[in-house]
Chain A
């Protein structure tokens, strides 16, 4: 049952194409873990946070965009512009420069799929930012109802909130046990699958069998995996192959997106959701986007993020860190020197793995990583 996760993580497009053939629900996409998929679900869509789809050429995206956009964003544009999936709607969200321009690029490039942007604050440290986020969610719903020509169903929203929250809570539990009780390849495959599968199907598959454990017979080096979104599951497989055991995650794919709360009584029980309280739910969704664990795209009290990563790394006995960066990802490239420095001061050496088009580790990255692991062993 769990094999499906690895299959999806390796080929999310293939999975969605066959899902679309067998489903009456329409597909709505987003490209960010900030976007609350429950809003799309509550409009009757199957909401999907499309993972990065790395390829050697981005033929369609390259007619609209320059190569100096991260391939996380370029691949999204490529999939949508190439009509590889029957996408009925897109929920965009403001965050980094790359994500901000995607809707405009799609529009200017002649894409006819309706795109509605959720406007979120960059600050996540003030009550005004929370108010702004709440307002942003309400505004998004009004705009989307018009642009998508659908109503957001309050009953569906309560159920979707509960299911999606349950999914994130289960992922958080799993990432707590990363590398100790849960195999990292399994954990990341499951996290990617949660972005793509319908939540009921995902939860069912997740609990269908005990979670695979890491291979404790081999001598492995405990490492931290930090970065934006996981470019591809092959990287995690390659790391495991080289003897790196991920015991701590700091990625949007893993713990960060899973940390988004929705603090509302209507979300606590997926089976018996209480009567819908649309306004309260939208408020809780907006606030949750601010309260979640963020990457370096947000402005929060200076230094807190890096200090938090370093102390968690020390707690988990991390011996080496892998900074998985997309080439041209400014927020993480800005943060990397300080993160590397602080980790070094804590006795943890880092390696930067930069991804553009290729899946998995390049030969020179393997060699560098091997050397690093040998040094710390």
Chain B
């Protein structure tokens, strides 16, 4: 029987093959941000491609440094998001673990994850000479107001019409409803899977989630994602039945905030295992746990769903999220990845740490790193920081 890892590899290969094949048959391709409202695009038969996710895979495969350097040689500052620099480097050099990437016919971005993407995706659109469509999702420290949801909803309706016009494809609401049902099903399965980290001992960890999040990001809205997560859920249930916990001899449980550190992902995972520490949940993969989508109100619920996400809220939202995670996942500590590439996610980490510790009584640690530029992450330094932290957590 195929392992989840093998299934994922086949899924990615199949997705890329299908994208390239359909593109040659005339199907339009949209390069989109990870938080872009993809459902209307899928309903119109547009094939989405996710540069951020692609950058993550490039980084995990050790391609981060040369691709970043390529972007820097074009005068883009080393202080800019490394996903952007990796992506630009890949576009310019044509290097990618995926082989040939289907070129975009349009670009769709939304600022619900950060301000970086509006600049980055505009650069993509300009390089390829294709339209740049943008959905403005107002940032707020509070839950979205009625006016904010309406503002986004209007734009989603306009976006749908524009994409239909640009691609010459006919929009049917029934298609959107079908796609949203797929998204919702995958989101629910994903939430159920993530919850296995809450069991003590854990049967699923964030190190698994970082890898298996690929379909929820890039195949949301399709039956492929639903298929993958049904199988994965079954695998985890089987493992639990056989008592195969994720971290044998689990000694302590930790919550992670921010994006994974792809350049040192494997080494970090090994280090956690060696110390019998389970990374039980994280704010990164949890971002795709939203339950706002409602196919009965396709545009309105989509507007709320794509506005009310963690990165579109301020540090206090993160504080409350982490407090809830520490409690629900019975964590002994938490780690904040101070990711110099992702300012939206990282800024304020020291203040966040203090507040979470004050509210939960569990210790936290801020570690410096980067999600894709290996020159800004040192596994050795991180280990030196983690070692005493782990000792403190496991000290009986």
Chain A residues close to B by CB (< 8 Å): 63-66, 68-69, 94, 96-98, 100-101, 103-105, 107-110, 117, 119-123, 126, 128-129, 131-132, 135-136, 139, 296-297, 299, 302-303, 327-328, 330-331, 333-338, 340
- The contact of A108 among B125, B151, B338, B355, by CB within 8 Å, is B355
B343 touches A330 (CB 8 A): yes
| 11 A-B residue pairings within 8 Å (CB atoms) | A65-B347, A66-B347, A66-B350, A68-B346, A104-B141, A104-B348, A107-B141, A121-B138, A122-B115, A299-B122, A334-B119
Q: How long is the Cα–Cα vector from A302 to B123 in the complex, in angstroms?
A: 10
Residues of A within 8 A of B111 (CB): 122, 299
In the complex, the chain A residue whose C-beta lies closest to that of B151 is A132
Residues of A within 8 A of B122 (CB): 299, 302
CB distance from A144 to the nearest CB of B (A): 14
A104 touches B136 (CB 8 A): no
Given A135-B147, A334-B119, A101:B134 Cβ within 8 A: no
CB distance from B136 to the nearest CB of A (A): 4
Chain A CB within 8 A of B79 CB: yes
B123 touches A65 (CB 8 A): no
Bitwise, B247-289 to A at CB < 8 A (1) or not (0) is 0000000000000000000000000000000000000000000
A-B pairs with lowest CB-CB distance, top 4:
A104-B314, A334-B119, A104-B315, A108-B351
Q: Which residues of B329-374 have CB atoms within 8 Å of chain A's CB atoms?
A: 338, 340, 343-344, 346-352, 354-355
Residues of A within 8 A of B344 (CB): 97, 100-101
B140 touches A117 (CB 8 A): yes
B74 touches A337 (CB 8 A): yes
Q: How long is the Cα–Cα vector from A121 to B347 in the complex, in angstroms?
A: 22
A129 touches B136 (CB 8 A): yes
A121 touches B136 (CB 8 A): yes
Chain A CB within 8 A of B233 CB: no
B75 touches A340 (CB 8 A): yes
A337 touches B316 (CB 8 A): no
Residues of A within 8 A of B212 (CB): none
Residues of A within 8 A of B154 (CB): 128
CB distance from B334 to the nearest CB of A (A): 14
In the complex, the chain B residue whose C-beta lies closest to that of A125 is B134
B120 touches A334 (CB 8 A): yes
Q: How long is the Cα–Cα vector from A275 to B115 in the complex, in angstroms?
A: 41
Given contacts A96-B115, A131-B151, A132-B147, 13 further A-B contacts (CB under 8 A): A103-B141, A108-B348, A109-B354, A122-B111, A123-B134, A129-B151, A132-B148, A135-B147, A139-B145, A328-B343, A330-B343, A331-B115, A338-B126
In the complex, the chain B residue whose C-beta lies closest to that of A122 is B136
In the complex, the chain B residue whose C-beta lies closest to that of A129 is B136
Q: How long is the Cα–Cα vector from A139 to B80 in the complex, in angstroms?
A: 33
Chain B residues close to A by CB (< 8 Å): 74-77, 79-81, 111, 114-116, 118-120, 122-123, 125-126, 132, 134, 136, 138-141, 145, 147-148, 151, 154-155, 314-317, 319, 338, 340, 343-344, 346-352, 354-355
CB distance from A335 to the nearest CB of B (A): 7
Residues of B within 8 A of A105 (CB): 314-315, 347-348, 351
B350 touches A68 (CB 8 A): no
- The contact of A65 among B115, B314, B348, B354, by CB within 8 Å, is B348
Q: Kindly name the residue among B134, B350, B352 whose own CB sees the greatest number of chain A CB atoms within 10 A.
A: B350
B343 touches A68 (CB 8 A): yes
Given A122-B111, A132-B147, A330-B80, A66:B349 Cβ within 8 A: yes
Number of A-B contacts (CB under 8 A): 148
Q: Kindly name the residue among B147, B151, B155 whose own CB sees the greatest number of chain A CB atoms within 10 A.
A: B151
Residues of B within 8 A of A299 (CB): 111, 118, 122, 134, 136
A108 touches B315 (CB 8 A): yes
CB distance from B381 to the nearest CB of A (A): 15
Q: How long is the Cα–Cα vector from A96 to B117 in the complex, in angstroms?
A: 12
Residues of A within 8 A of B77 (CB): 333, 336
Given A65-B350, A122-B111, A302-B132, A107:B315 Cβ within 8 A: yes
Residues of B within 8 A of A94 (CB): 138-140
Q: How long is the Cα–Cα vector from A128 to B114 in the complex, in angstroms?
A: 21
- The contact of B118 among A122, A338, A340, by CB within 8 Å, is A122
Q: How long is the Cα–Cα vector from A64 to B148 in the complex, in angstroms?
A: 29
Residues of A within 8 A of B349 (CB): 66
B351 touches A109 (CB 8 A): yes
Residues of B within 8 A of A126 (CB): 155
Q: How long is the Cα–Cα vector from A216 to B305 in the complex, in angstroms?
A: 60
Residues of A within 8 A of B126 (CB): 302-303, 338
Given A96-B115, A100-B139, A104-B316, A333:B352 Cβ within 8 A: no
Residues of B within 8 A of A101 (CB): 314-315, 343-344, 347-348
Given A105-B315, A123-B136, A337-B75, A331:B119 Cβ within 8 A: yes
A69 touches B343 (CB 8 A): yes
- The contact of B348 among A64, A131, A338, by CB within 8 Å, is A64
A327 touches B79 (CB 8 A): yes
B79 touches A328 (CB 8 A): yes
Given A98-B347, A122-B115, A66:B134 Cβ within 8 A: no
Residues of B within 8 A of A100 (CB): 115, 139, 314, 344
Q: Kindly name the residue among B79, B319, B340, B349 whose own CB sees the greatest number of chain A CB atoms within 10 A.
A: B79
- The contact of A63 among B134, B343, B350, B352, by CB within 8 Å, is B350
Q: How long is the Cα–Cα vector from A42 to B346 in the complex, in angstroms?
A: 36
Given A123-B134, A331-B115, A108:B316 Cβ within 8 A: yes
In the complex, the chain B residue whose C-beta lies closest to that of A354 is B77
CB distance from A66 to the nearest CB of B (A): 5
B147 touches A108 (CB 8 A): no
B340 touches A97 (CB 8 A): no
In the complex, the chain B residue whose C-beta lies closest to that of A336 is B75
